[in-house]
Amino acid sequence: MQIYLKANRMLFKKGTKLFSILNKKCPRCHEGKFFKYSATFSPSKVIDIYDNCSECNLKYMLEPSFFIGAMYVNYALIVAFSVITFIISTLGFGLNLLQAGASILIGLLIFGPLNLRLSRIIWINMFVEYQKKNKDAS
């Protein structure tokens, strides 16, 4: 049990990709906020990000149309979510094919904004490495 807790703390601590993704923080310093709005279902605000990190000044749009690649991550998340939902609804709840399809559709509509945000933060974390701040530097 103690080994599990120690591994769990190491997996989600500052300096790991999971810390940046789950806390929606800058991938380089893990301190600045990535999204302008913490939680929203407004289609125009759901993927709004800051231009630069407030702490380390990392430019989030690394190149023009950088986040177009996040569509591939979004697609993978949608497929994974759909497969898991299908398995749970058919094997766990005994739903037929039409009901399982409806549950997938409803789940995708509900978790769509979260999926978009998650795909963007995963995408930028694939290209930017964490850099520990030097405390001696002023």
What does the pLDDT average to over 27-42? 89
28 CA to centre of own chain: 15
Helices assigned H by DSSP within the chain: 2-11, 17-23, 70-87, 97-125
What does the pLDDT average to over 9-32? 90
Cα–Cα nearest to 47, from 110, 124, 109, 120: 120
- pTM (predicted TM-score): 0.85
Q: What is the reported pLDDT for 138?
A: 42
Q: What is the reported pLDDT for 26?
A: 96
Q: What is the reported pLDDT for 38?
A: 85
For the chain, the structural domain boundaries read 23-125
The predicted-structure confidence for 59-81, as pLDDT tens digits, reads as follows: 999 998 999 999 999 999 999 99
